[in-house]
Structure 1
Amino acid sequence: MQSTQRDTVWILGGTGVVGQNLLRLLRAQELDRVMTVSRRPLLDGTAHLARNLADSRSDFPCTRGDIVVNLTEQTSAELVRTVLQRGACFIENSASSDYMMTIREMARSVRGPGFLVDGCGVAPGLTNLLAYQVLQIHPNTRALEIVVDLGLGKHAGKAALTWFIRSLARPYTAKVERAWQVLSPADTEIRVQWRQGDQLSLALGFPFAEQQILAEELGPACDTVQCFLSMRPGWVTQLFKRLLGLGAGHETGTMTLSCGDQSEATAAVLARTLLAARQFSGVGPICPLPELLSLEQAFEAIHKVHHDASFRHTSPTILA
């Protein structure tokens, strides 16, 4: 993809918490024209195009070389098709398996020069990069357990928080011991130690999109790919455990990345992905995030906005 002075970054749903953080980072880089697209504009003078993204008839004048960042699951699959057919890069932030699989299927069906980059943010995003790092260091790994610890309120944003709560009651599909299984948060849990000296924290099985994305991308390299969610304060996770009536779990070797405020970290990964997409010379329709971005590059981007971000790796324990 060739970058020109007239290339535009379109941020769909860019008026939310993550969108505003992303706007600040892009303005600091002074590399692109930026336009938000949603029903209502920001009040800070950001260039805006009023559209109902849930309407399959909605459109906006993106062209080849543009980058489209989607921060809302209201964006219709038909609009995604149009973006890809015109040759733009479509960067997807969704953590919803159902929505993400729909967008992936749409991308595969498109005959056009554009390409999709999904799993861009914290979860999925950093979690995908960590998973690839695990397999690079430990190629014989057969099971990946991806655990996300999220704060409530402003750290996640209102829309994300609503989705988290609703998803706790939904069944989801995950690859477990080489077989695709339909699970619910009532089926699985593990306990993890986030920092040395901390007590173990409860994490519940959760329908994050990366357990399907990674299982698809890694194929037979992994027998199991499962995601878990821990929420802060810890009593929130404990409350859901009591409501759902769960059992017990386990833990082995770990990679832990602490990245501060979720919305700011997500924006940092998105901004870095956007720059990498400019240089992508491969062929679509789907470009996995690890082909654009390394874990080191993502962590460096986050560290610029969160100087206390940290990374810890402990070797796996071989279980009998």
Structure 2
Amino acid sequence: KCTTDLRTETAETERANVVGNLVILGGSGDVGSRLVRLLSDHQEWKVWAVSRRSRAVETTLKNVVYSALDVARPGAAKSLPEDAIVVNLPEATPPELVAERLARSETVLDTSATPRYVDALIRAAAGTNGCLVTGVGMAPGLSTLMAADLASNERVETLRIGLELGMGRHYGQAAAEWFFRALGLPYDDPFTGRSVVPGKKPWRFNFTRNEAPRLALDVAFPDEGIRPSGGEVRVHHYLAVDPPFVTRLFAVAQRLGLGRWMSEHSRRLTKLSLRLPQFGQLRTRVTAVAFDREGQEIASKLFEGGDQADLTAAMIMVTLEAMRSGDARQAGIGPMCMNTRPKPN
């Protein structure tokens, strides 16, 4: 079922006695389409899969409505169903739209891995009555929970978090563009506070116990929700690609000063990458390593799973189920409402 007017379907939702409206911004994308499939078995949700471009969608899913809406246009927030939980997948969503929904005491779940965008959401949402939850996905998300568990140890002074993406398939356009942008997006070094170009301070990780350490490149990444209250833990983030020689190629490119160029031409490079053959394993691996004041490793956590998009959709689903069942606070969701915290400087 397709529509361009989401508000007209609200009465149908009420007649069906559905528990709640769930809006997925980016609902026909790589992660969004997988999340919709997971939700198709949960008739307690009325799912609104929203995408920018109109397209014909053949579906027999009774609880799913596909709709075309440009969320960047003025007044877009008013075109969405009321009393809904909003899952924000694209970074094209204006922070003002998120703030407007939160002002209605709604909940917005965001999956962005770009620190500047996450900070913009938090600033826009500060003081509203709803709940903004960032880092709902695989990374950030599961990786955040792994690191936060390590950070609860008072001996921990530094955390290094490595994410490895397998190239066993072509990822969606948004994920691929993010990858190239991340290689050229400067970040503040946790030790010096100075702006650092990605790739200047790489690290080697054991992504599994019986494997040689693999190179990973330092990148900008959100770290909200990792540090304990009042904690001074320094957090470093790294990105690697499987097979490892691809990571080494990007490392050479960054040493040649091409990081900013790759970031500025992320869309063009994404189109080119989609023409390349698929190789490597279709898997996602995360490692979080904790170090004490002397720089000695004291603990670590490892995770290995399948397709990154599948894992992100599954993590969103777990969050939604925890919220619906009333276990949100026990699951660590309640305390993560970012708009209840002070605005970042």
Residue 9 to residue 42, structure 1, CA distance change in 2 (3 Å): farther
Q: Does 1:273 align with 2:300?
A: no
Report if the CA contact (8 A) 2:18-2:43 is conserved: no
Stretch deviating more after TM superposition (151-160 or 233-242): 151-160
- The corresponding residue for 2:37 is 24
- The corresponding residue for 2:250 is 240
- Deviations 1:14-73 (Å, cap 9, x if unpaired)? 101111111111112332010111223461334123210122431223323x21001101
Amino acid at match of 1:290: G
- The corresponding residue for 1:223 is 233
Picking from 103, 106, 125, the partner of 2:124 is 106
What TM-score comes out, normalization by structure 1 length? Answer: 0.78
- The corresponding residue for 2:134 is 118
- The corresponding residue for 1:131 is 147
Report if the CA contact (8 A) 1:7-1:33 is conserved: yes
What TM-score comes out, normalization by structure 2 length? Answer: 0.72
- Deviations 1:267-305 (Å, cap 9, x if unpaired)? 0000111122335699xxxx9983359xxxxxxxxxxxx
Alpha-carbon distance, 1:197 to partner: 2.2
Unaligned runs of 5+ residues in structure 2 are 1-16, 257-294, 336-345
Alpha-carbon distance, 1:172 to partner: 1.5
Identity %: 30
RMSD value over aligned CA atoms? 2.7
Mapped partners of 1:264, 1:206: distance in 2: 23
Report if the CA contact (8 A) 1:12-1:72 is conserved: yes
Q: Superposition pairs for residues 1-320 of structure 1, below 5 Å? A: 5-39=18-52, 40-41=54-55, 43-45=57-59, 46-59=64-77, 60-64=79-83, 66-110=84-128, 112=129, 114-136=130-152, 138-152=153-167, 154=169, 156-176=171-191, 180-210=193-223, 213-214=224-225, 218=228, 220-245=230-255, 252=297, 253-279=299-325, 290-291=332-333
Unaligned runs of 5+ residues in structure 1 are 294-320
Amino acid at match of 1:102: A
Report if the CA contact (8 A) 2:151-2:228 is conserved: no
Mapped partners of 1:292, 1:233: distance in 2: 38
Residue 33 to residue 192, structure 1, CA distance change in 2 (3 Å): same
Residue 155 to residue 139, structure 1, CA distance change in 2 (3 Å): farther
- Deviations 1:226-275 (Å, cap 9, x if unpaired)? 100011221111001112239xxx98342111121100000000011112
Mapped partners of 2:56, 2:198: distance in 1: 37
**Structure 1 segments of 4 or more deviating over 4 A?**
279-282
Alpha-carbon distance, 1:220 to partner: 4.3
Mapped partners of 1:242, 1:289: distance in 2: 42
Mapped partners of 1:251, 1:33: distance in 2: 50
Mapped partners of 2:194, 2:303: distance in 1: 28
- The corresponding residue for 1:296 is none
- The corresponding residue for 1:301 is none
Q: Count matched residues.
A: 275
Residue 194 to residue 186, structure 1, CA distance change in 2 (3 Å): closer
SS at match of 1:29: coil
Query: Highest CA radius of gyration, 1 or 2?
Result: 2
Residue 109 to residue 262, structure 1, CA distance change in 2 (3 Å): same
Amino acid at match of 1:236: V
Stretch deviating more after TM superposition (87-96 or 219-228): 219-228
Report if the CA contact (8 A) 1:127-1:146 is conserved: yes
